[in-house]
Amino acid sequence: MAGQVRHLKVKNGRFYARIAVPAHLRQIIGKTELVTPLGGERRAAMKALPAAVAMLQRQIATAEASTAGDRQAGPNGPITTADYGRAVWQRYTAALAEDEAKRDRLPSVDAIEVEQDKLMQRAQAGQIALADPLAVLDASLDLLVMKDAQAFDQSARQAKLDALRADLTENRTHLVEHEIDAYLDRHSLTAPEGSAERATLAKRIMRAEIEALQRTLERDQGNYGGKPADPIVTPPAGNPEALQPVKIRVRIHNQ
């Protein structure tokens, strides 16, 4: 049933994407839950679900950023050594939180089995032209996507890890430029393009991303106890609040 799919809400025959708002953000957002409609057709709703969930998560992330206690008012200031360490740890923990949220969106074994049973029932009822390969493929697409989702995600993370390692040795920073700009803006800091400060920040964020991606690959093997081997990826001293990644708690109820 659709109620078994994470982040999916079904009410009165209509489908919705939903995410619970963390308690500390409810006063800011004004809601306990974010919901967006996906229509009344299950297949279309399932296809639209990942993008809808990502949009809701961006709303939560935006609200989270607005509460950052270390946001500075007024003109942007120069980046400091402490900022480098904070940027590294925040990116590392945020990347792991993003991975956890993404895993929650992957189809479960139960959901895949339900989709497979539905496909078999349609075939047995003569609703699929089994002699037509294209018809069989079209009917099987949802199931194929669900079965391959985890492998595709793992391959994408491995490819990004390989690309970051190559870029790090070649002094290419394009894969993390958006993270640099976001960090500088969030903390009202400046590091002009072409400056040594920006280059240093870029390389450190890349190393944080590399460590986080290595943790995600360990998670694929059931190992959630991995620790960073890179000496720069450590919690900032004297700043316990910076150690907490954004947590997105999702509670699904069949309705």
184 contacts 69 by C-beta, under 8 angstroms? no
What is the CA angle 236-237-243, rounded to 5? Answer: 45
79 contacts 201 by C-beta, under 8 angstroms? yes
Q: Which residues pair with 190 in a beta bridge?
A: 78
Tokens of 232: 């720069």
- In this predicted structure, what is the pLDDT of residue 199? 94
- Alpha helices (H) along 12-132: 26-29, 42-66, 81-105, 109-124
Residue 21 DSSP label: P
Question: Phi/psi at 106 (nearest 5 deg)?
Answer: -70, 145
Q: What residue type is assigned to position 254 of the chain?
A: N
Question: Phi/psi at 56 (nearest 5 deg)?
Answer: -65, -40
Question: Cα–chain-centroid distance for residue 139?
Answer: 29
* Rounded Cα–Cα distance for residues 173 and 167 (Å): 7
For 64: left if phi > 0, alpha if psi spans -120 to 50, otherwise beta; the answer is: alpha
* DSSP assignments along 62-90, one per residue: HHHHHT-TTPPPSS-EE--HHHHHHHHHH
Residue 246 DSSP label: P
Secondary structure of residue 115 in the 3-state scheme: helix
- In this predicted structure, what is the pLDDT of residue 201? 96
Run of H or E residues at 38: strand 33-39
Exposed/middle/buried for residue 8 (C-beta within 10 Å: 0-12, 13-18, 19+): buried
Would the pTM of this model clear 0.75, i.e. be above it? Answer: no
- In this predicted structure, what is the pLDDT of residue 202? 95
Which residues have CB under 8 Å from 218's CB, separation 6+? 224, 226
Q: What residue type is assigned to position 154 of the chain?
A: Q
In which residue ranges of the chain is pLDDT below 50?
Answer: 1-3, 69-74, 240-255
User: What CA dihedral angle connects 110, 115, 118 and 124, to 10 degrees?
Assistant: -110
Tokens of 148: 């391959």
